Structures are given as C-alpha cells and as structure tokens.
Chain A
Amino acid sequence: MLAIFAVQLTLAVLVTSVFACIQYRPLLFFSSGHTNNWAVLVCTSRFWFNYRHVANTLSVYRSVKRLGIPDSHIVLMLADDMACNHRNPKPATVFSHKNMELNVYGDDVEVDYRGYEVTVENFLRVLTGRLPPSTPRSKRLLSDDRSNILIYLTGHGGNGFLKFQDSEEISNVELADAFEQMWQKRRYNELLFIIDTCQGASMYERFYSPNLMALASSQVGEDSLSHQPDLAIGVHLMDRYTFYLLEFLEDIHPSSKANMNDLFKVCPKSQCVSTPGHRTDLFLRDPGSALITDFFGSVRKVEITMETINLTEPIQQTYSYVDQLPVSEIIHQKPKQKDWHPPDGFILGLWTLILLVFFKTYGMKHLKHIF
C-alpha cells in the first residue's frame, strides 16, 4: 500500500515536472528576438593585386553558408573576378591559405552583384530596399523586422570612407544614414557590421541607430595588413583580421554556444599588428548573451518530439508574450551607461587649474593656515 502510494507520488512528480518543461518550451522558442538571418557580403576592390579582398569575402561567405544561411538569403557582391581571371594559375579557385590548402570559392557559389555592378548606389539600394521593380529576388535584401543581418565590407579605406572599385567612395555618414533608414523601415532586428579595411574603426564612428554592433580590423590611424603571399599565385591571399576570423569561424558549428565576447578577442594586436576595435553601445542586449550563430548561422530552436502530449489539463498561469517592438520605449531610451573610466585629461586639467589659481591667489605661505 505504501509502495503503491510512493509510486503514485513519484509518477505525479514526474508528470508535473514533464508538464512544466512542456510549458517552458514555448518561452525558450521565442526568447531570441530573430526568426531569420540575412547576410550582405561586399568586396569593393578591383584588379588582380586585390585578390585578398575577394578571398576575404568568400571565406566569410563560406562560413556563413556552412552554418546554415542559404544562398537565397545571402547577397554577395564581388567587384572583380579572381577565380576565372586569366592571371590565375588555377582557374575556378580562390585560395585563402598558402600552398593552396583551402579553396574558398568552392563548387556551389552564387554571386549576386559582380563586376561593374558593385557600386555605392547599388550597395545603398540593396540595404534600403529601394531597387527598381524589375530587380530579381536574388539581388534583393528581403529582410523584415525579425531579421538578423550580417554586413561584411572589405577593400581599401581611409579615415571616414571606403573606396569602391577605384572610382568612388562611401563615407561613414552615408553608411550611418543608410542604417537609420533601415531601422525606420524596420528592416532589421539586430545588425552586425564587420569591416576589414585600413582605419576601419572610422566607418562605425557615426552610427546612431539602435541594435547595431560593429567590429573593425583596425583603429583610426592604423593600417590593416595582409597575411601571407603565395609564391605560385603571386599575390597576398588574405588579410590578417579575416584570416584569423576564418580560423575562429571554422571551429564554430551550428549548435555552438560561443558568444560575441569571443568574437571580440579574435586577432589580438600580436597577431594582427593593428588593433581591432568594436562598438557595442548601440546594442541593447549584452554582447555576452548574443551567440555567434545569431548572426553567422541560421539556427532554429525547434525540437521535434514523437510522443503525444496531453493538453487537457488546464493551465494554471496565463503567459503573455513580451512586446517585441515597444517603439516608444526604444526611441526614447537613453543609450546604455558607459563603464566608469578614470578621469581623463580634461577633468585632471580642470582640477589642476583650480588648484593653481588657489595657490597663486593666496600664496604658498597660506598653506599652513588651511591644513
């Protein structure tokens, strides 16, 4: 009798615990803010000696495809063709490691904008969605307000601008305004912006829209350097930052729990020679809670179960969904508090001035009267 009672008790505990887990599952599914992933990968350089910029973009493309984002959700823009270039000793290949270890071009690549089509105007039109009506779907960024977008730019840049194809430039102000247009049209949920150019940090200085996180390969005043040349091909194959980024991403798999803080550590100054920078003040979540696969992969939190779940029990507690886009809150919120910094030069200078004036006025001999 006691045994039967114990069995019934354990069964009841089991059922309620299992039932509690089932109730918890919808919360788990909707706790991440995005439902689809997009990537816009742009290489802005032309000519054979800029092989490394195409290799940079293709290695990010390869990682993003490997982690699950399909071709229909990737807008790949390559300003010149390196793989079938007549100077390429191994046609239809683009290598990232010397001795031709890894062919990032692969066998299944779809380039959406190529050659002369990669212009500042086309790039901004893709971002803002203002394309002519006859543009095919593969050339459009059809994101919505639940999309996480990864934007990767590489090429030659300077303080506040990025050069497109040796003939025009995009400035950091234009880029920031394009992102603001995207925000106002609700074209993204969260956006990760990575740039690998010289003085790349200048390109994210002017951002002012929420939910943006930015990474750059070098600070203002520094050059991003290339990694290693291949003597058979005759040019530098990759840039340092993207080379170590590719190495980092090769270890990520779709169920990986690595977060953005790991990404900030990629390529320290000892490996990169330049100082990579990042900007997270416009990002609402803590970077430590944003997974790498939130931007680089296309991961769904779906669990398939073969057992039938009896839902006849009444639910005790009513749940409600969190307001996904409380517009008034977001627009009027204050930016995140910056961490405390020790007083910088201005404050120190001000205090020194006050002290100097004090002592000059009252003379040093009065010191003993004060103290």
Chain B
Amino acid sequence: MMPVPSSVPQPKDDFQEELVIRPLHSGDIYASFQFRTLWETDFMRGNKVSHYRLFPKSLGQVISKFSVRELHISFTQGYWRTMQWGQPFLPSPPGAELWVWFQDSVTDVDGTWKELTNVLSGIFCASLNFIDSTNTVQPSASFKPLGIGNVTDHRFLRYATLPREIVCTENLTPWKKLLPCGSKAGLAVLLKSEKLFHSSFHSQAVHIRPVCQDWQCKTTSWELRQTLNVVFDLHTPGQGKLEWSLFKMFSRTLTEACPLASSSKIYIDITDDPQGEQFEVSPATHLLSQAMVLGDRRTFSVYDLTQQITFGTVRSLNLLIRWKSRDMLRPLLHAERYVAGYGLQTGEIHTLMYNNHPYRSFPVLLLDSVPWYLRLYIHTLTVTSKGKDNKPSYIHYQPSKDRVRPHLLEMLVQLPPNSVTEVTVQFERALLKWTEYTPDPNHGFYVGSSVISSLVPSIVAMDTNSTREQPLFSSFFPCKEESSYFMRVYTEPLLVNLPTPDFSMPYNVICLTCTVVAVGYGSLYNLLTRSFQIEEPSPGLAKRIANIIRKMRGVPPL
C-alpha cells in the first residue's frame, strides 16, 4: 500500500441538510428535504478521482464515465395541485423525468444517453431502460443548464419522461443509500416509507451540476442535491384538526444531526402570523430567518440541529405546529391540460395557462412532447387569449416519425395580465401493431406532462448573489435579475385510449374455425366416401394368440 503524500491536499467536500415545513391553506402540510454535497474536485480534467468521502461513488463514476455536465432525475407519485397548495420549491412531473446535459467532448450523444439510462435504472431500481428514441426529445429553448457553463448547444441536451413510472420503497431505498449518513442519523431518519407513501404527493429527486465556488467564480465545484418533497393529507391520520407534529408526519422524532453535516436546520414557515396569535410552534425558538423565495419574502423559524440545546432535556425533537387558518399565496402562473373530443379516432388537446397577475404580462415557454401514436395536426394549432388570437413569437416544431421519434413543440407565448391563454391542437390516434401493446392496454396510454417555463415578475427584489449563505430551498434556481424569478410549472399527464383490439379473438377464431372445418368437412367427406361392410368381430388378444399356438399344434381353433 502506497502512503498518501500529505502535501497533496484532499479536495474539500461539504454536506448540508435542511428540512422546510410549510403548512398549506387547505390544511395539508408540505415538507421539503434537501441534502446538498459540495465537492471541489474535477471529474473531467484527466485526474482520476479515487477517494470518495461524502459524494457517493456510484454517481461520481457515472459522471466521469458518461461525461455528464448536468443530471436531473426525479421520481414523483401524485400531481402537484397548484391552486390548492401554491408553488412547490422544486417542481416535478408525475412519473419519472430525466434530463441531462452532456459535455461537448461527447461524440455519440444518443449512444451515451442509452447507456446512461440503463445504468441509472440499475442504481435507482426503476425501469429507466424504457427511455429510448421514442420518448426522448432535444428541447431547443427550455431546460437551459442550471449550473455554470458556456455551452448551450442543445445537441448535448436530452430530455425524457416516463409518466407511467411507479415510485415505491424500492426507489427510496437506493436514494437513501446515496446520503453520507444513510438513513441512520440526521434528517434522513425521518424518511420512513410507510408514512412517506401514504401522502397526497411524494417526489424524490437527484440534481447534479457544477457551481461556482466563490463570488469570483474562477473555479467550479460539483454540487449534488438530493431533494424529497412530500405533502401530507389532512384527512389521512383521521382527524380534522390543524395540528401536525413530526411524529404524526413521519412516525419518528429527531435525536441528532448527521455528524458529517456542516449545517443541519429545520425551517418552519410562519410568515402569515408573526405575532403568534393564530400560529403556534412548540418547542419555541427565537431563531428567525427571512428568505426570498418564489417572489415573496417569507419568515421562518429556524431549529439548528447541530446545537445540542435544540433537543432539550429529553434529547429528542418533536416539533408541534398548530394553526387556525391560513391565507394562500396566490400562484401567479398556473396551467391545466385535458383531452377533448369523443370516439377512438380523433381528439383535441387543450392546454390552459392562467396569468393571475393583475397588471403585468410575461412570456412563457411551453414545451410539449407528444408520443408518435397521437398524430398531431399542427395546422390546427391555435393560441387564443381573452378570445383573440395570440401569435407566439417563437415556435420550434419537430414532427414525429412513426416508432422513431415523438412530436416536439416549443412555443414562446406572451401571457396578457389577468387572463387565460388556451392552446389547442387536434390529433388522430394511430393503430399499433399487436406486439406493441402493453400487457394491460385497456388502461390507456400516457402522454407526458407539458412543461411551462417562465420568468415571473416578483413582488420583492430577488437576491442575485448566488454565493451568499442562504437556505438551500431558495438557492436552487439561479437568479440573474432582481425583478423576476424563474419558475417551472408542469401540467397533468394525459391518459388516452387507443383503439385496442380484443386479444382473446385469435384464440376464439382458431377454435371456432377449426370446429366448423372439422364438422363441416368431416361430415362431407364421410358422406362422400364412407361405405359399410359386414365384419366378423375380432376375437380378443388372448384368444388370437391361443389360436396361433393351436394352429401350430394342428388343433382346430377356438
């Protein structure tokens, strides 16, 4: 074994964990976990990384082997109800979503993408190997890199969703194993599957990107964020009171922070009630913090788990939150999508985008990826706001190719203030080959969510200094200007029925036809060729052998 030279400095790595709890207007409660590992190393420039400490080795090897610049993967169960719950800190569509920016040194992006999806399906125990060219698109304007970098040539971007993908404990288990402390210490102790999946919304994600190390941004470090968003339903535990505790949500309490974490905090959103009349949190804390998140300045109570005093004399922390009523943060941007029409031949996709700002209009970028078996008629595409035609300023359309590529439609639409914009397009359903149907085709076929990205004007001035110490939940999307913030909204996925054959018919037809042929042809053949003859009944076997022996003896037969 070679001794490690002490003069070579080990790249610094840092781990932070945080939990944000936000009670919602409808009485549900929203909990968002974020675990961030920052590592000042360089996967790309030749020196092979061999010692992993806080950064998980499986992901590090994936980044270096496939020359990945950015990787974002999310698994979601449920649909985020924007009108009831407001905006999430990190949006995600139902099912699985994967988008990756590759380095510009990659020559065969499609081949690398296929191998990457297979490897990730093994790491996360998900069927990501079903991602192939029929559901992968290259968006030209949406999904710009969230980390730093110069290249924005969209040839190196790949985006795919699997709306049918199920999320269960088998996806949570490897996700938890990527954390430095696993699920043994710190905030990850709360992640118990029986409570997490008994919720209205559950989303777990992994985001890897290069970020600036300091405000000068001369060097970069790699950031890995693992996020888990969950919304617990008010009516699930069986009571209607607006009272939640950590034990009620997660069936666990906290006893210590992760020893490897440099910061471990819990934030509780107490914005609507600074006096504490309607809102009560126990044990009380005087640590307060303000953050600019989602265009609004919010106030949070902070619990620092690295301080022993937070756990009190009982050595465990069980936060209790009680409130009477709550105003909702009215979302400025909201979207819906549905299929109109009747029958199994044609239909129409309607996408509605709501701009709830009273006097400001802003542009949104709509990305639609429709599978090839719904043949879109783009000449029927209409965009209307307030009854009048609203011409998009940028349209990028890539038509589909049967069994090769899906449709890709990207449009930049200006939403007038306080209005609803409707995008409609007609389609025709294709008839698939009988081997292309899934084992349960009568369930229907999924169309992935549309993605609406926009810069929404904000009420307060946003913070553009990204390297200042701020909570993790407010620093995910990079902020370039003070007057607006970036937001992504996902619509519902669609479930369409394709004309499905009756798969029991081949068997039925074979049975019926063979019966008819046998009975019909058999009867006819008998009628034509059968003739009757008189015959002696043949004696039994024993008698016949006895007759042979008697014949040999010369004795008359029986």
Interface residues of A (CB under 8 A from B): 46-47, 81, 83-84, 90-93, 105-112, 114-117, 132, 134-139, 165-167, 353, 356-357, 360-361
Q: Is the CB of A138 within 8 A of B541?
A: no
Contact with A along B152-180 (1 / 0, CB 8 A): 00000000000010111110011000000
Can you name the residue of chain A whose Cβ is closest to the Cβ of B198? Answer: A91
Contact of A84 with B77 in the complex, beta carbons under 8 Å: yes
Partner of B129 from the list A117, A166, A360 (CB cut-off 8 Å) is A117
Q: Which residue of B lies closest to A119 (CB)?
A: B439
- Cβ contacts A to B, 20 pairs, < 8 Å: A83-B169, A84-B166, A84-B197, A90-B194, A90-B198, A91-B197, A91-B198, A92-B193, A93-B194, A107-B193, A110-B125, A134-B114, A136-B118, A136-B119, A138-B125, A167-B503, A357-B542, A357-B545, A360-B546, A361-B549
Partner of B173, one of A108, A139, A356, A357: A108
Are A115 and B114 interface neighbours, CB within 8 A? no
Contact A110 B543, beta carbon cutoff 8 Å: no
Query: What residues of B have a CB within 8 angstroms of the CB of A138 in the complex?
Result: 122, 125
In this assembly, does B440 line the interface, its C-beta being within 8 Å of a C-beta of chain A?
yes
With CB as the reference atom, state the residue of chain A lying closest to B541: A353
CA distance A108 to B168 in the complex (A): 11
Chain B nearest CB, measured from A115 CB (Å):
6
A165 to B542, CA, bound (A): 54
Query: A135 to B119, alpha carbons, bound, how many Å?
Result: 7
Report the separation of the CA atoms of residues A106 and B497 in the bound assembly, to the nearest whole angstrom. Answer: 35
B121 at the interface (CB under 8 A from A): yes
- Do the beta carbons of B127 and A116 come within 8 Å of each other? yes
Closest Cβ of chain B to A118, distance in Å, is 9
Out of A105, A116, A135, name the residue touching B438 (CB < 8 Å): A116
- Quote the shortest CB–CB distance from B228 to chain A (angstroms): 14
Instruction: Tell me the dominant secondary structure on chain A's binding face.
Output: loop
Q: For residue A113, which residue of chain B has the nearest CB? A: B127
Closest to B121 in A: A136
List, in ascending order, chain A residues with CB within 8 A of B164's CB: 115
What class of interface size applies to chain B in its complex with A? 35 or more
Asked whether B543 lies within 8 Å of A167 as measured between CB atoms, the reply is: no
Q: What B residues does A165 contact at CB under 8 A?
A: 439
**Do the beta carbons of B439 and A92 come within 8 Å of each other?**
no
Q: Are A115 and B127 in contact (CB under 8 A)?
A: yes
Q: Are A357 and B549 in contact (CB under 8 A)?
A: yes
Contact A84 B168 (CB under 8 A): yes
Residues of B participating in the A interface, judged by any CB pair closer than 8 Å: 77, 114-115, 118-119, 121-123, 125-127, 129-130, 164, 166-170, 173-174, 192-194, 196-198, 438-440, 503, 541-543, 545-546, 549-550, 553, 558
Contact check, B130 vs A116: say whether CB atoms are below 8 A apart. yes
Q: Are B123 and A353 in touch, CB under 8 angstroms?
A: no
Nearest chain A CB to B80's CB is how many angstroms away? 17
Let me know if B173 and A353 touch, CB within 8 A.
no
- Residues of the B chain whose Cβ atoms lie less than 8 Å from the Cβ of A360: 542-543, 545-546, 558
Q: Which residues of A contact B169 (CB under 8 A)?
A: 83-84, 92, 105-107, 109
Closest residue on chain A to residue B123 by CB atoms? A136
Which residues of the partner chain B approach A361 to less than 8 Å between Cβ atoms? 546, 549-550, 553
Q: Which of B129, B173, B541, B546 contacts A110 (CB 8 A)?
A: B173
For A112, what are the chain B residues with a Cβ–Cβ distance below 8 Å? 122, 125
**Chain B residue, CB-CB nearest to A81:** B166
Which of B167, B170, B196, B549 counts the most chain A CB atoms within 10 A? Answer: B170
Q: How far is the CA of A240 from the CA of B115 in the complex (A)?
A: 42
B122 touches A137 (CB 8 A): yes
A92 to B196, Cβ gap below 8 A? yes
Instruction: Select from chain A the residue with minimum beta-carbon distance to B114.
Output: A134
Known: A110-B125, A136-B123, A139-B122. A116 touches B543 (CB 8 A): no
* Chain B residues in 8 Å Cβ range of A134: 114-115, 118-119
CA of A115 to CA of B130, assembled, Å = 11
Residues on A with beta carbons closer than 8 Å to the beta carbon of B115: 134
Q: Contacts of A46 on B, CB cut-off 8 Å?
A: 439-440
Q: Which 9 pairs between the two chains have the least Cβ-Cβ distance?
A: A136-B122, A360-B546, A84-B168, A356-B542, A134-B118, A92-B197, A165-B439, A91-B197, A111-B170
CA distance A83 to B196 in the complex (A): 12
Is there contact, CB below 8 Å, between B440 and A92? Answer: no
A-B contact sample (19 more), CB < 8 A, given A84-B169, A111-B125, A353-B542: A46-B439, A83-B169, A83-B197, A84-B166, A92-B197, A92-B198, A107-B169, A109-B170, A112-B122, A115-B164, A115-B166, A134-B118, A138-B125, A166-B440, A353-B545, A360-B543, A360-B545, A360-B558, A361-B553
